[in-house]
Amino acid sequence: MSANPFDLHSALLARHAQHVVLVHFPIALSMVSWVFEVLARWRRSPAMAAAAYYNLVGAATSSLAAVATGLAAWQLQLSGARLRGNLRLHLVFALVCSVLLWVLWFMRARDRRTGQAPSVLYFVMATLAAAAIALTGHLGGFLSGINGGSN
């Protein structure tokens, strides 16, 4: 008898399921924040700028949960074995991405307090963060077998 692919209990309580579910929040929120920030600049829209800021707050905050559950999955699935290959690269990029999101939030919060628009440096860092997040997610897909392999 095959397993039910829609078994909610098994999906949510698997030893690594929490990371697989939670990781999508910082990815989506950070990407949407970047798009809203570009649109806010282009349209000169304070509402879009506010939406970008709050999406960034959500991305930075949820990145902590994504990192924590990723570390927990490593401990539960591999018993803390030494990381190598794509798994180590994924962890390093995940930590860098989380730090980048918090740095971007700090820059943006400072700009909001002083009433300034985001600087060119902010947009450069946000673009680099978006690329790093996309690469990290891509590596995570390989690890989970979604992209055709595991390592």
Residue 141 is predicted with a pLDDT of 84
Residue 151 is predicted with a pLDDT of 46
Return the sign of the alpha-carbon dihedral for residues 31, 138, 17, 1.
positive
Mean pLDDT per 10-residue run, the chain (151 residues)? Answer: 61 67 94 97 96 98 96 84 90 97 98 94 97 94 63 46
Residue 83 is predicted with a pLDDT of 86
Residue 63 is predicted with a pLDDT of 98
Single out the residue of 84, 100, 104 nearest to residue 135, CA to CA: 100
Residue 81 is predicted with a pLDDT of 86
Amino acid identity for residue 74 in this structure:
W
Task: Locate the domains of the chain by residue range.
Answer: 11-144
148 DSSP assignment: S
Tell me the C-alpha distance between 11 and 149, whole Å.
20
Residue 150 is predicted with a pLDDT of 45
Residue 64 is predicted with a pLDDT of 97
Single out the residue of 59, 45, 75, 36 nearest to residue 136, CA to CA: 59
Return the sign of the alpha-carbon dihedral for residues 110, 112, 116, 122.
positive
* Burial annotation 69-91 (CB, 10 A radius, 16+ → b, else e): bbeebbeeeeeeeeeeebbebbb
Residue 76 is predicted with a pLDDT of 82
Tell me the C-alpha distance between 69 and 142, whole Å.
18
Tell me the C-alpha distance between 25 and 83, whole Å.
25
